[in-house]
């Protein structure tokens, strides 16, 4: 593998959101650009700005954020770092969780709240239209048709381009897709935790982008002498980089969004785009059991 500072995210290939909005598959997730508990400002806001600019310079053009990160801390840092946005930069955001303190997340899918959060996302990000707006969680207290229906209205008003959902089952994804065209799904998924495999398979079959959150988790698979550790050493790479390379090879609809608050770490993550696993290596990792 070449020097990690020379690797472009573009080596991960592209995926067309909605069939006509191409993004580089290896993106960046903004949740870590906040304080402890995803609450308030980060320890070093200037480093956060440098991270975002470095990611874009290294070819990242898909950035995933949410109004609840801070709240709004990540949005405002993205605007400070990157506005006015390059033509190919796609900002995806989410709404549907309310915050009342560190590590406190409560689904809130009332239509008037989702509309308010869309307007605040637009303002804080400095956008006239959000390319991908995701329902952060389905609120069990509100009919799904009302939650997505408000997003459809915002779409018709030109404030949203595409609609996505997050943390859903296959049944919920099917139900959402019957209400409106779903462009992306964002679920917890990584090499060590693959409970969302059925959702990924559905997304793949319907050309829906699958955005795995918490993509770097490797669990016990990275222990010394284990398969991930062994292959990483053979590639001259870190286990987390191989975990990203595995995700990219797993499916062409996969859009990993590793996040970090340090420039050195964002360079390390993006360098994973330059790692190509053989089919045999992919199978070894896929079949590895953490223990």
**Mean pLDDT, residues 42-71:** 98
pLDDT tens sequence across 11-20: 999 999 999 9
Tell the residue number behind the tokens 């229906």, with chain if given.
Answer: 149
Q: What is the CATH number of domain 4-287?
A: 3.20.20.100
The pLDDT of residue 3: 59
Confidence at 4, pLDDT banded by 50, 70, 90:
low
Catalytic residues: 69
Q: Cβ(215)–Cβ(277) under 8 Å?
A: no
Cα separation, 255 vs 264, in Å, equals: 21
pLDDT bracket for residue 2 (50, 70, 90): very low
Read off the pLDDT of each residue in 84-100 and give the average, rounded to a whole number: 98
Tokens 């997505």 correspond to what residue? 148
- Higher pLDDT: 123 or 2? It is 123
Q: How far apart are CA 24 and CA 236, in angstroms?
A: 24
d(CA 240, CA 238): 5
Is pLDDT of 152 > 60? yes
Per-residue pLDDT band for 1 (boundaries 50, 70, 90) equals very low
Confidence category of residue 222, pLDDT binned at 50, 70, 90: confident
Helix, strand, coil percent content, the chain, rounded in steps of 5: 45, 20, 40
Q: What pLDDT is recorded for position 6?
A: 78
Residue 133's SS3 state is: strand
126 vs 218, higher pLDDT: 126
Beta strands in the chain (DSSP E): 14-17, 21-24, 28-29, 62-64, 90-95, 97-98, 106-107, 130-135, 160-166, 182-188, 209-213
**CA of 139: how far to CAs of 31, 96, 136, 150, in Å?**
21, 8, 9, 13
In this model, does residue 289 exceed pLDDT 80? no
Q: Which residues contact 171 (CB under 8 A, 6 or more apart)?
A: none
Q: Are 232 and 13 in contact, with CB atoms under 8 Å apart? A: no
How far apart (Å, rounded) are the C-alpha atoms in residues 28 and 10?
13
Report the run of H or E that residue 200 belongs to, with start and end.
helix 197-205
Helix (H, G, I), strand (E, B) or coil at 85: coil
Give strand pairing partners of 14.
Answer: 24
Confidence band (pLDDT; 50, 70, 90) for 183?
A: very high
- For residues 157 and 29, give the distance between their C-alpha atoms in angstroms, rounded to a whole number: 27
Instruction: For residues 76 and 31, give the distance between their C-alpha atoms in angstroms, rounded to a whole number.
Output: 12
């Amino acid at each position: 593998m070449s020097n990690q500072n020379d690797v472009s995210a573009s080596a991960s290939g592209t995926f067309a959101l909605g069939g006509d909005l191409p993004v580089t598959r290896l993106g960046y997730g903004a949740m870590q650009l906040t304080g402890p508990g995803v609450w308030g400002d980060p320890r070093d806001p200037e480093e956060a700005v440098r991270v975002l600019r470095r990611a874009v310079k290294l070819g990242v053009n898909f950035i995933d954020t949410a109004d609840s990160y801070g709240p709004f801390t990540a949005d405002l840092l993205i605007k400070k770092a990157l506005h006015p946005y390059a033509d190919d930069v796609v900002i995806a955001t989410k709404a549907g969780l309310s915050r009342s303190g560190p590590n406190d997340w409560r689904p809130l899918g009332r239509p008037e709240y989702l509309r308010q959060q869309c307007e605040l996302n637009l303002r804080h990000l400095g956008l006239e239209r959000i390319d991908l707006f995701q329902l952060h969680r389905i609120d069990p207290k509100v009919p799904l048709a009302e939650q997505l229906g408000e997003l459809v209205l915002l779409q018709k008003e030109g404030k949203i381009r595409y609609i996505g959902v997050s943390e859903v089952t296959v049944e919920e994804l099917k139900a959402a897709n019957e209400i409106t065209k779903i462009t992306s799904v964002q679920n917890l998924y990584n090499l060590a935790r693959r409970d969302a495999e059925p959702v990924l398979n559905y997304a793949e079959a319907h050309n829906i982008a699958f955005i795995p959150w918490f993509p770097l988790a490797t669990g016990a698979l990275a222990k010394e002498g284990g398969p991930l550790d062994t292959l990483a050493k053979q590639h001259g790479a870190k286990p987390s980089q191989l975990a990203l390379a595995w995700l990219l090879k797993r499916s062409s609809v996969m859009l990993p969004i590793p996040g970090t608050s340090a420039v050195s770490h964002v360079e390390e993550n993006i360098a994973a785009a330059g790692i190509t696993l053989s089919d045999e290596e992919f199978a070894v990792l896929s079949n590895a059991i953490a223990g």
